Amino acid sequence: MEYRVIKENDLFLLTDEKGNIPNDHPYGPGLYKKDTRFLSSFEMKINGKEPILLSSEAKKSYENEMILTNPHMEENGRLILWRESIELKRKRFIYEDVLYEQVVVKNYYPKPLTFQISFTIDIDFADMFLIRGFQSGKVGSRTGVEVGAHSLTYDYEGADNVRRSSIVSWDREPIEVKEGYVNFEFNLIHGEEQTLTFKVNPVIDGERGTVYSPDVAYRKLVTSYQSWNDKTTNVKTDYLPLQRMVDRGVSDLRLLLTDLGYGPFPVAGLPWFGVPFGRDSMIAALQMLSFNPEVAKGTLRTMAHYQGKNNDPWRDEQPGKIMHEIRYGELANTNQIPFAPYYGSVDSTPLFLVLLVEYVKWTNDLGLAKELLPNIHAALDWIDQYGDRDGDGLVEYHQESSKGIANQGWKDSGDSIVHRNGDYAETPIALVEVQGYVYQAKSGLADLFDALQDPHMAKELREQAASLKVTFHNAFWMEEHGFYAIALDKDKNQVGTLTSNPGHLLYSGILDEERIDSVSRVLTSEKMFSGFGVRTMADGEAGYNPMSYHDGSVWPHDNSMILLGMGKNDRTEEASLIMNGLIEAAEHFEYDRLAELFCGYDHRLGKLVKYPVACSPQAWAAGTPLTFIQTLLGCFPDSLKGVLTLKPRLLDGMNELRVEQLRIGDGILSVSLNRTTNGMTELNVHENTTGLRMAVAETSLS
């Protein structure tokens, strides 16, 4: 299904390109809030016929606009409606948990016309997990439909004893209204247009969105986006493909923000993951540090609030563990699935600490670190006591929940951890990137505890990090490949398949120079690099499949973590190769919007092959172009040490890059990069109130 999707805070709408919600469509279109569908059918017809789509526009993240027209209509030789006489312009947006749809109807026929426009409407209040076909279970039932002259109200009593309602209202007198159907008559002279407005207001236990006039709601929505842009780093470049990607990423990340009361954070993605995810939300926040660090603060506070407190095998929960995912529908609320929240993620906890450290390095916000000290200690305790299941100094995972997730790293599909002979690895499994996250967390926290005047804790963490580094290299390094194993299985045997996972080590600081070179070479080799990006698995491995979800596809966010590491370690050539590949990939997607993933077929095919059910927009895919800017600047501030490192470079085809209002340390950094006549990159500093000492590498500073 080619779809259109919009979201604002906790409500999102998924339709086909015409703007319809077809009844019983397998892709599950509808209006969703809290994992419940509050509009399951919404189809427009003119004189009982399907309109013809002329255009479907979704360039602005916060609104969709479709233009349709009528088919030719005759009956027994009598003209009813000449083809393309009526223009139907549909515009929809969401504000404060209310959906607004305006249908502007215009007559282009040279004479007056009378015709009808009808809508079929239904609400099934289905749980997201049932729609996606993953679960079955006990649910509630619809308790009635109230039919009014200007509204239909559907009520539902859930198995979780939550009362849900959906109020569909309109501002025009209908000629017929009944359960599931409303019909309007239009009488228009030539050139006349009239507007019909629908509002859909989901209600959960009496709580509903605030209803405004459409014009007021739209102005408030646009103003909120303008405010977001004003608070976000501004990027201008003469390289338009990159400009489009960055602008799209910034806009989509604003679209995906949600606030549960602890500050804004990005949900994972649409349409199926519009909820808090530990790993996804934190990696997206990490990608956004150079653009809007406040998002990291909201993400950290949200994750801290839901940090594990109990030993609960049903939820794969232990004290101190950061959640994987939270769901709000009937199945979760009645404990039929373990997602309220679910904790089956081995990397969320160290990533929580990594994000906190990097946030403080960017912002010098020691206040947040002090606020979250109990959460920091609890996360460290989880790593050492529960994460390290066998006391060997490495962090492993093992599914305990009967309805949980078997593989608990970011490659969480059942076939993603596979030996070179094709056998699937058995748990407990220690993932390569997770050890890097733990090392990065403990090393960074050591500096943080120094700043917090706790030298004993700092010393202990440095010693633990140093010990982990030795243990890790001995366990994971594969000399014959010059690369690291993706994992260790239950018997501590290496899972030697060549994958992208070791690329995340570049950012962690756990690698020495020689192995940084070796890992970078393998990642950009022909078997790993498709031409559009680094594959999740190398071509030629037993498990390799370019069509698979995790075993040969290309994930933009995976590449972004590799890029941050390459930028940090000044691997300019390899980083440029990956960025150029992803920029070319983006040109194959509508509005230059990188999808969650795409197939790993070789670039030499001459086209990019899309993955059939990739989410878009997806937070960490939207955040990927933002990491290009940080990588090009080579910008890695460390407020804890008082140093701002810049290693600037430009991609081929770029002559200018201006980055303004970077929030670093105690102030602002604004810089520009320009290509000189001899091909060098010139750095111009326009504003620097960061309070940090600037260290600039291999550039002409002016």
Whole-number Å distance between alpha carbons of 179 and 102: 21
Q: Residues 165, 281: one domain?
A: no
Determine the pLDDT at residue 110.
97
How far apart, in Å, are the Cα atoms of 181 and each of 22, 29, 122, 175, 529? Answer: 14, 18, 8, 11, 53
The answer to whether residue 686 is domain-embedded is: no
pLDDT score of 133: 81
Residue 140 falls in which region: left (phi positive, over 0), alpha (psi -120 to 50) or beta: beta
481 and 562 fall within a common domain: yes
Q: Are residues 97 and 127 in the same domain?
A: yes
The total of structural domains in the chain comes to 2
Please list the rounded mean pLDDT of every run of 10 residues in the chain (702 residues). Answer: 89 96 87 97 98 96 96 93 97 97 98 98 95 84 97 98 98 97 98 98 95 97 96 98 98 96 96 94 98 98 98 98 97 95 98 98 98 98 97 97 96 97 97 98 98 98 98 98 98 98 98 97 98 98 97 98 97 97 97 97 93 94 98 97 96 96 97 92 96 82 46
Under 8 Å between Cβ of 503 and 562: yes
In a domain, 674, yes or no: no
268: domain CATH number? 1.50.10.10
pLDDT of residue 699: 56
Q: What is the pLDDT of residue 698?
A: 64
User: For residue 23, what pLDDT is reported?
Assistant: 85
* 255, 175: one domain: no
Assess if residue 690 is contained within a domain: no
> Are 702 and 684 within 8 A, CB to CB?
yes
Sequence-separated (6 or more) residues with CB below 8 Å from residue 438: 350, 383, 387, 395, 468
CATH at residue 100: 2.70.98.40
Q: Residues 262, 201: one domain?
A: no
User: Could you tell me if 249 and 212 lie in one domain?
Assistant: no
Query: What residue numbers bound the domain in which 7 lies?
Result: 3-222
- Return the pLDDT at 1: 53
Sign of CA dihedral 211, 213, 218, 223: negative
Q: Rounded to 5, what percent of the chain is helix, strand, coil? A: 30, 30, 40
Which contiguous run of DSSP H or E holds residue 222?
A: helix 214-230
pLDDT score recorded for residue 321: 98
Token pair belonging to 533: 């990006």
| Per-position b or e across 47-82, b if 16+ CB within 10 A of its CB | beeebbbeebebeebbbbbbbbbbeebeeeeeeebb
